[in-house]
Amino acid sequence: MKIIPFPTRRRPDFHLQDEGAIAILFPRTRVAADWVAANLASDALTWAGGIVIEHRFVADILTGVHDAGLAVRR
């Protein structure tokens, strides 16, 4: 009998909140905050601890997050 391990559940590094005209990306781990500091503009608009993103940039930013091995919850 082959034993299949349960997938490990890890806290997502980011939470992405869609607000219609914009999206807000909330870093939830230290690694995520470090990624933001290294990859997004230091003068990016923030709100309630998240980074405000125009929808035209969301796909590119999520690709960068994914390529870094980080997880996003929507």
pLDDT digits (tens, 9 = 90+) for 2-30: 555 544 557 899 999 999 999 999 999 99
Give CA–CA dist 15/23, Å, rounded.
10
Question: What is the pTM for the complete model shown?
Answer: 0.84
- Report pLDDT for 58: 97
Q: Which of 23, 9, 27, 19 is nearest to 68 (CA)?
A: 27
pLDDT given at position 60 = 97
